[in-house]
């Protein structure tokens, strides 16, 4: 089974130096930015709308990324759009939402249709972001449903680019070992 799959004549587009683990599945209208990484058992399914993922973004093990199609119930549908330098923790579920740049999505979090996470946000592990909820830049959010907990510290803000750079180094090591480079 191929990790990168064409669907309805739409083939995922991978930027430079992208790592897709052989056990992951990336389908359809998906774009992955330079130096991004898709780890084991991830599903990124752009089969009825588009998914755009920026540079240096890591999608960690077991995460599911999907969209909502356009219909009479939802005229525009909801694509999935993710910025640069985003770390998406293990087993996260992102569905038809917008995530800015320099964001940490905690392990096991769920972000639902129409939700917007602005730049520079930490979403705590196991959090639920309900449909249409907006998370303001510069804060930590936790809970189910999510609530604003406090302003981020300077150390936490610095962690966004540190984490992104760390995953760039790690995916480069996996590529050097011959695992999953460019979805092969």
Domain assignment present for 183: no
Give the mean pLDDT of 83-99: 98
> What is the tens place of the pLDDT at every residue in 93-113?
999 999 999 999 999 999 999
Mean pLDDT over each residue of the chain, to the nearest integer = 96
pLDDT at residue 3 in the model: 93
- How many structural domains does the chain have? 1
Domain assignment present for 181: no
Give the H/E segment covering residue 173.
helix 154-176
pLDDT at residue 2 in the model: 87
Q: Does 110 or 183 have the greater pLDDT score?
A: 110
Report the CATH number at residue 29: 2.160.10.10
> What is the tens place of the pLDDT at every residue in 58-77?
999 999 999 999 999 989 99
Cβ distance 130 to 118 under 8 Å?
Answer: no
> Which of 7-11, 16-20, 105-109, 176-180 bottoms out in mean pLDDT, i.e. has the lowest?
176-180
40 pLDDT tier (thresholds 50, 70, 90): very high
Q: Give the domain range for residue 53.
A: 4-176
Distance (Å, whole) CA 67 – CA 88: 16
Q: Residue 114 has what DSSP assignment?
A: T
Distance (Å, whole) CA 44 – CA 59: 9
Distance (Å, whole) CA 179 – CA 46: 23
Give the mean pLDDT of 28-52: 98
Distance (Å, whole) CA 12 – CA 62: 19
Give the predicted TM-score (pTM) of the model: 0.95
Domain assignment present for 118: yes
1 pLDDT tier (thresholds 50, 70, 90): low
Give the mean pLDDT of 45-66: 98
179 pLDDT tier (thresholds 50, 70, 90): confident
Distance (Å, whole) CA 135 – CA 152: 13
Domain assignment present for 80: yes
| Residue 127 pLDDT exceeds 50 | yes
Domain assignment present for 124: yes
Distance (Å, whole) CA 179 – CA 7: 24
Cβ distance 99 to 79 under 8 Å?
Answer: no
């Amino acid at each position: 089974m191929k990790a990168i799959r064409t669907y309805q004549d739409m083939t995922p587009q991978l930027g430079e130096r992208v790592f897709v683990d052989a056990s992951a599945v990336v389908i359809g209208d998906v774009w992955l930015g330079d130096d991004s990484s898709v780890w084991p058992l991830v599903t990124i399914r752009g089969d009825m709308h588009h998914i755009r993922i920026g540079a240096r973004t890591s999608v960690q093990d077991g995460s599911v990324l999907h969209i909502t199609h356009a219909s009479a119930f939802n005229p525009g549908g909801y694509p999935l759009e993710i910025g640069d330098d985003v770390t998406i923790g293990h087993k996260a579920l992102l569905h038809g939402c917008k995530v800015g740049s320099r964001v940490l999505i905690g392990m096991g979090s769920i972000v639902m249709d129409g939700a917007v996470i602005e730049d520079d946000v930490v979403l705590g592990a196991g959090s639920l972001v309900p449909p249409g909820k907006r998370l303001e830049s510069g804060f930590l959010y936790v809970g189910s449903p999510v609530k604003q907990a406090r302003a981020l510290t300077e150390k936490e803000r610095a962690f966004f680019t540190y984490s992104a750079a760390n995953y760039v180094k790690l995916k480069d090591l996996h590529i050097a070992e011959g695992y999953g480079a460019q979805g092969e």
